[in-house]
Structure 1
């Protein structure tokens, strides 16, 4: 019991922050899960085979993580982007319109037009 009390006293400042601000989580599980994804990806990239493969892997995983950070479904995002590139709908000088944050606003605009 004394060990638990000493632990609590050492972390008192953090406990007070948690109690005063409802947005602060008691544990760090959500952050640890995000770091686990990065660590797993880093381990997978070791098996890329060549520098060019590792570069492609880094680009691919960066796009997936950026899509997730922008609240997108990575599969739907990549499917649409790859279809638009293959169909020549988007030219090489227009690739910035396929970045997740730009793509998201375009999709919202399309849904608004379809709803009207």
Structure 2
């Protein structure tokens, strides 16, 4: 019954045989379960899930989640909607990670430290 799904491993050698790395990455989510009670609504809970997924994906791609989220939030307003896939962590790393946008607040805090 699952022959089609199992053929992925034969056709794509980079696909891991197990999902242990994903399960380890998702482990912090149940640890904060009581915190998720305060999402206020189903939509809020859905948004928490999206953010957690983005942060986990960043970690899997060795991307600093703070740098990624800051850059994407600053970039999304003037980025073409038809190229939104460029803002996913994997493609963002290839295209924008070398020169990420930083918030004015971040630059002001780091400037005052120097």
User: Normalized against structure 2, the TM-score is what?
Assistant: 0.57
Aligned ranges for residues 81-100 of structure 1 at < 5 Å?
Answer: 81-85=72-76, 88-100=77-89
* Inter-partner Cα distance in structure 2 for 1:103 and 1:32: 24
1:35 Cα deviation (Å)? 5.3
1:37 aligns with 2:52: no
1:47 Cα deviation (Å)? 1.9
Count how many residue pairs are aligned between Structure 1 and Structure 2.
79
Unpaired runs of 5+ residues, structure 1, are 1-30, 112-116
Q: Spell out structure 1 runs of 4+ moving beyond 3 A.
A: 31-36
1:52 Cα deviation (Å)? 0.6
Unpaired runs of 5+ residues, structure 2, are 1-21, 100-114
User: Normalized against structure 1, the TM-score is what?
Assistant: 0.56
Which has the bigger relative contact order, CA under 8 A and spacing at least 6? 2
C-alpha root-mean-square deviation of aligned residues, in Å?
Answer: 2.7
**1:73 equivalent among 60, 64, 77:** 64
